[in-house]
Chains A and B, each alone.
Chain A
């Protein structure tokens, strides 16, 4: 059974701080890794994807992948109240895309 784990939160950070979201996965054969943001009642929207070990930066977002530790994280710099949402980690294995349960983030003004 392929599993993706995330801390459910809620994670609270003050405005302007760095939010750190973590995800672990069980299958060493997993190939691609995605971070989604989901606002309540809405469908998830893709923030970033990463395929290779190391860091990938896009604006205020940085994804970090460590395949040896089966760990992927998302850092949000200069957090804004509009970043308050649930963040979903997704992992692919061949044709399947499996999601973690999500971490709820609250950015306090």
Chain B
């Protein structure tokens, strides 16, 4: 089974600053990869998914973007963070989730 590495665990960023969250996967090849966001007390919102290198599907138009430069690497980015970007960000692959990043935008 695959292992998902996601970091950092927590992040505090000022409004207007950039963001880069990285997710890497071990134990599988050509996986489907997903980024989700979970606001406090809410469900998981699908942000982006990718079925291969360079292939990104966006589910929700917003302040974020995603890239997949390598088969097992999935990156979530923002040029300028908004307060509403705060939340728990999760990378997923094959039914398994990474440990998540708790992002607070202040």
Q: Which residues of A contact B (CB under 8 A)?
A: 34, 41-46, 49, 88, 95-102
Contacting residues, chain B, for A43 (C-beta < 8 A):
90, 97-100
- Let me know if A46 and B96 touch, CB within 8 A: yes
Provide the bound-state CA to CA distance between A88 and B88, in Å. 15
Tell me which of B42-50, B68-76, B77-85 binds A. B42-50
Contacting residues, chain A, for B61 (C-beta < 8 A):
none
Q: Which residues of B contact A (CB under 8 A)?
A: 32, 34, 36, 42-46, 49, 51, 57, 59, 90, 92, 95-100, 102
Provide the bound-state CA to CA distance between A44 and B97, in Å. 7
A49-B95, A97-B34 are known contacts. Are A44 and B51 too (CB-CB below 8 A)?
Answer: no
A43-B90, A43-B100 are known contacts. Are A99 and B95 too (CB-CB below 8 A)?
Answer: no
A-B contact pairs, 16 of them (CB 8 A): A41-B102, A42-B100, A43-B98, A43-B100, A45-B97, A46-B96, A49-B95, A88-B43, A95-B51, A96-B49, A96-B57, A96-B59, A99-B44, A100-B43, A101-B43, A102-B43
- Let me know if A97 and B43 touch, CB within 8 A: no
CB distance from A14 to the nearest CB of B (A): 25
Provide the bound-state CA to CA distance between A46 and B93, in Å. 12
Contacting residues, chain A, for B44 (C-beta < 8 A):
44, 88, 99
